[in-house]
Structure 1
Amino acid sequence: MATLAAPSRVTTIVIWILRILLAALFLFAAFMKLSGQTMMVEEFGMIGLGQWFRYLTGLLELIGGIALLVPAVSVLGAVLLLCVDAGAFLAQAFVLHGDVVHTIVIAALLLVLIYLQRERLKAWLP
């Protein structure tokens, strides 16, 4: 793995704030899905792919949320969660006909986090 330039102190603080906030958000969302909260069961029932999809989504959120807190793989967790968020956007916009603003805001925060860790992402790419 290539040597990475150390980010500035301010950048490091911003990265950690984003990591913690987004990890808390996605870990809570994972808990809601994996614990079978009625609202989640009903929402995934409306999506029509079966409850296995709720478990898969919750597992991806759990993995991504934990990964955000591990500096070596944080950027990969953010990319994974961006994919999950894109799926949530599509489900909200075209199936559930719900509010998509929150998915856009979360995507923007994930993109900022990915951008701030772009050197680490480049190190993962061939």
Structure 2
Amino acid sequence: MADMDASLKEIMQIDGAVGAAVADYTSGMALGTIGGTKDLDLAVAAAGNTDVVRAKLRAMEMLNIKETIEDILITLDTQYHMIRPLSGRAGKGLFLYVALLKTRANLAMARHQLRQIEASLDV
């Protein structure tokens, strides 16, 4: 089991990663961040993406969808933003967030690696 800091460092090893966070979508707080740029404030990104997670969960509830979210992908002109809610009781209410450069990232590999990192994360 890896702690949060080790997991965030591992996320930054994903090709194209420019920043990552572990956030609580109930409070909007970033519990840990790494990387970022002058244009990518990870605390702000984590807080903003809590609204994305909450909105999707509300929509699923209204549609009576009983499945769980594996990940949410937001595709921008030059970046991918991936949100992966943590499964398991210990991670309830938390999600992983990573911003990737499209020119360097392999989306399938990034999803695979993020899934593996989540499986070993101990929060």
TM-score (norm 1): 0.33
Larger radius of gyration: 1
Which structure dedicates a bigger proportion of its chain to strand?
Answer: 2
TM-score (norm 2): 0.33
